[in-house]
């Protein structure tokens, strides 16, 4: 039983890496099996079709997103740095699961069930982030009316969802780099600038200037293929 669970996780790890590199519509199950070091028939034993793989990855993303969104910032009076850390953790999560934010039309075609689940996930997460923005206002980090805070939430969500598509469209590049992650993060943080108090500007200044590295040690580990092989060890296929 343990071997079966390990094989299933190796498949998911390999799929995550390959889907992050290219559209899931372009990645074959044969590629995923090769990356996981198993026969394609073994992959289909665990996941009958690609849609099942996507839904399993979505389940992992849902769990991680729920954990980040509901994270305890540090009691009733959290340190101001906790708000920057909160934004950073959201973006790190997005980088780890960037497959979810690219080519959404093809994702919903492959796995139509994803649409309603993604909408439910977005609604839950937005409620929790809205509460964090209200705490930022009470803490003196933001100066915003209820309408302004709602506009900030909406625009930050839009940029977070579509910056990858925008960058791929304007650059003509399919693959994303760590520098792209920092660029996207800065676009979101820049939305806060007009509403930051003097205290808030001092807090966000360093984050806006330097952004953050795309990967922590844990994320970097997940961006390699099972067995520690680099991504380049798998040849691209379009069949």
| 161-210: pLDDT as tens digits | 888 888 888 888 877 787 888 888 888 888 998 999 998 888 777 666 65
User: Is 10 a member of any domain?
Assistant: no
Distance of CA 175 to the CA centre of its chain: 15
Q: How many Cβ atoms from other residues are within 10 Å of residue 173's Cβ?
A: 11
CA 185, CA 208: separation in Å to the nearest integer?
Answer: 8
Which pLDDT tens digit goes with each residue over 60-79? 999 988 888 777 777 667 77
Examine residue 33 and state whether it is found in any structural domain, yes or no: no
Residue 184 lies in a domain: yes
Residues 6+ away with beta carbon under 8 Å from 38: 7, 10, 11
If phi > 0 it is left, if psi is from -120 to 50 it is alpha, else beta; for residue 71 that is beta
Query: 36 lies in a domain?
Result: no
Q: Which residue has the higher pLDDT, 178 or 132?
A: 132
What does pTM read for this prediction? Answer: 0.75
Q: Which domain holds residue 181?
A: 50-226
Location of structure tokens 């289909």: 44
Alpha carbon 113 to chain centroid, angstroms: 19
**How many angstroms separate the CA atoms of 83 and 6, rounded?**
36
- What CATH number should be reported for the domain holding residue 206? 1.10.357.10
Q: Kindly tell me if the per-residue pLDDT of 85 is higher than 90.
A: no
Mark residue 37 as left, alpha or beta (left: phi above 0; alpha: psi -120 to 50; beta: remaining): left
Residue 189 within a domain: yes
* Number of separate domains in the chain: 1
Selection from 158, 157, 163, 161 nearest residue 180 by Cα: 163
**Residues 119-123: contacts with CB within 8 Å, 24+ apart?**
121/61, 121/62, 121/65, 122/157
Pair of tokens at residue 52: 């099942």
CA 193 to chain centre: 23
Residue 190 located in a structural domain: yes
Question: How far is residue 195's CA from residue 239's CA, in Å, rounded to a whole number?
Answer: 49
Mean local confidence (pLDDT), 43-71: 90
16 within 8 A of 64, measured Cβ to Cβ:
no
Residue 5, in any domain of the structure: no
The reply to whether 41 falls in a domain is no
Maximum mean pLDDT: which of 50-59, 156-165, 207-216: 50-59
Q: Which residue(s) pair with 142 in the sheet?
A: 196
The C-alpha atoms of residue 175 and residue 159 are separated, in whole angstroms, by: 19
The per-type count for the chain, helices as H runs and strands as E runs, is 11, 0
């Amino acid at each position: 039983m343990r071997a079966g669970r390990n094989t299933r996780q190796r498949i998911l790890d390999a799929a995550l890496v390959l889907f992050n590199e290219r559209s899931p519509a372009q990645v074959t199950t044969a590629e995923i099996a090769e990356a996981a070091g198993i026969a394609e028939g073994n992959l289909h034993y665990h996941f009958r079709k690609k849609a099942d793989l996507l839904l399993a990855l979505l389940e992992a993303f849902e769990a991680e997103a729920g954990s980040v969104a509901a994270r305890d910032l540090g009691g009733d009076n959290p340190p101001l740095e906790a708000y920057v850390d909160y934004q950073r953790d959201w973006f790190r999560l997005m980088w780890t699961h960037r497959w979810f934010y690219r080519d959404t039309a093809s994702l919903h075609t492959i796995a139509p069930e994803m649409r309603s689940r993604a909408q439910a996930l977005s609604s839950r997460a937005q409620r929790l982030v809205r509460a964090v923005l209200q705490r930022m206002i009470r803490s003196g980090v933001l100066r915003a009316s209820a309408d302004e805070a709602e506009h900030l939430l909406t625009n930050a969500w839009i940029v977070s969802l579509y910056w990858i598509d925008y960058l791929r469209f304007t650059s003509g590049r399919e693959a994303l780099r760590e520098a792209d992650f920092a660029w996207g993060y800065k676009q979101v943080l820049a939305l806060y600038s007009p509403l930051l108090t003097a205290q808030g500007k001092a807090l966000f200044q360093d984050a806006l200037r330097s952004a953050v590295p795309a990967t922590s040690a844990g994320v970097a580990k997940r961006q390699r293929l099972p067995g520690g092989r680099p991504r380049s060890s798998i040849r691209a296929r379009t069949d």
